[in-house]
Amino acid sequence: MMRLVVALLVLALGVLVVVSMEAPEWILAAAGSDWFPAELGLGAERVDGLFDHTNLFAAGLLGLTFVGLAWAVWRGAGRRAGEGSERSGSRRLEVLWTVVPAGIVVHLTLAQIQARDAIAADARGGEGAGAPLAIEVEGVQFDWRFTYAGADGAFGTLDDVTSVVDMPVPVGRPVELRMRSVDVIHSFFVPELRMKRDVVPGTVTPLAFTIDAQDHAAAGSPETLELRCAELCGWGHYAMVGRLLPMEQHAFDDWQARAGAAGFEAEAMADDVEDEG
């Protein structure tokens, strides 16, 4: 009797754990809200899909384990207290618990490889996407700094445009980052894009993404997305937050032209302002 109660408790615990792995997403989805931030990057849904898929396997496997555990508690032990039943050399069982997990691991690996390639292709905008916009990203304790090539499309020329914290990007156009770190390892992370990549000193790390115009509009055209550093990089890590500013291509062109020209323009005191005073 006691054993049955414990076994049922174990089973209940298993149900609780498994449900807690899957339920929040269903409940929130039923309530019309999202478990994850909006998927704004091309290929973002593949990341979520992979997550759900892996999670499902993990939950299933965990559930089975709990069932086995409960069964072992209830029936597995000997009839009298302190007396265990013994099994050894069951080839069938050995094969089963080697092949099934191995199959799952191989399956998940293949799914990930496939997703990774698909995400990389999506992130470049897929076929027929325009020329990507290259941006140099510099992570430095504790700021994000950006360099744009300007109208001539070449870096290291006079019309380069620099920006700190704010990173304007055109919606719907593939963006290609070349990321460097000045000091320690940082990590470029924009949750809505489902993109996260370490920025390692001494090397240039590429990262491509495209903001999906339709998804962006569907999410209410957010004007800023947070860009966080996802690698503990020192005492100011918490404050190393930039802002991705999605905008229409023409607004981006305007911004780039204005910011570039501002560096060359004469700056004089406006006379009329003084006169009015």
Partner 1 sequence: MGLLPSTRALAAAGLASAVSCGFVPDRPTFSSEVSADTRAALAEADVSASDVAAARIGGALELYFGSPSAPGYHLTDAWIEDERDPGDAWWELSDEAADAVRDGNERRFAAQIRAVRAAIEAGAAALPDLPRPLRGGEAQARFEAAFAPLVAGEVELGGLHPDSPTAADASEDDPSFTWGDEALRFWESYYPTLEESAELFRTRCLFCHGPLGAGDGPTGRTLDPRPRDLRDGIFKWTEVDANRRPTRDGLVRLLQRGVRGTAMPAFRRLSRGELEGLVDWIRYLAVRGETEQLSTYFACEEGDVRPASVERAYGTVWGRWDEAEDHWLAVPAGPSPAEVTAEVVARGAELFRGSLANCASCHGTNGEGDGEAIWEEGEEGERRRRLDRWGQPSHPRNLTAGVFRGGGRPVDLYRRIKSGIGGTIMPAADASLTDDDIWALVHFVLSLSRTGGEPGR
Where does this chain bind Cu ion (CB under 5 A)? 186, 229, 233, 240
Q: Is the dihedral of CA 123, 36, 40, 205 positive or negative?
A: negative
CB count within 10 Å of CB 45 equals 15
Binding mask 107-146 for partner 1 (x = CB under 8 A): ----------------------------------xxx-x-
d(CA 76, CA 70): 9
SS3 label, residue 145 = strand
233 binds, among Cu ion, partner 1, none (CB under 5 to 8 A by kind): Cu ion
Residue ranges in 234-273 that form contacts with partner 1 under rule CB under 8 A: 235-236, 239, 241, 243, 262-269, 273
Q: Considering the complex, what minimum distance in angstroms separates the CB of residue 154 from partner 1? A: 4
Closest residue by Cα to residue 139 from 196, 211, 198: 198
44 binds, among partner 1, Cu ion, none (CB under 5 to 8 A by kind): none
> What's the burial of 212, exposed, middle or buried (CB within 10 Å: 0-12/13-18/19+)?
buried
Between 23 and 165, whose beta carbon lies closer to partner 1?
165
Among left, alpha and beta (phi > 0; psi -120 to 50; other), residue 215 is: alpha
Identified binder of partner 1 from the candidate list 165, 217, 218, 232, rule CB under 8 A: 165
Select the span of 15-23, 60-68, 75-83, 162-170 touching partner 1 (CB under 8 A): 162-170
What residue ranges in 49-183 does DSSP mark as E strands? 133-140, 143-148, 161-164, 166-170, 174-181
Distance, in Å, from the CA atom of 204 to the CA atom of 187, rounded to the nearest integer, reads 13
Q: How far apart are CA 253 and CA 105, in angstroms?
A: 47
CB of 10 to Cu ion, least distance (A): 44
Closer to partner 1 by Cβ: residue 45 or 143: 143
**Residue 159 partner contact from Cu ion, partner 1, none using kind-dependent CB cut-offs of 5 to 8 Å:** partner 1
Query: From Cu ion, partner 1, none, which one binds at residue 198 (CB under 5 to 8 Å depending on kind)?
Result: none
User: Do residues 123 and 42 lie in contact, with contact meaning Cβ atoms separated by under 8 Å?
Assistant: yes
Residues that bind partner 1 (CB under 8 A): 141-143, 145, 152, 154-159, 162, 164-166, 204, 235-236, 239, 241, 243, 262-269, 273
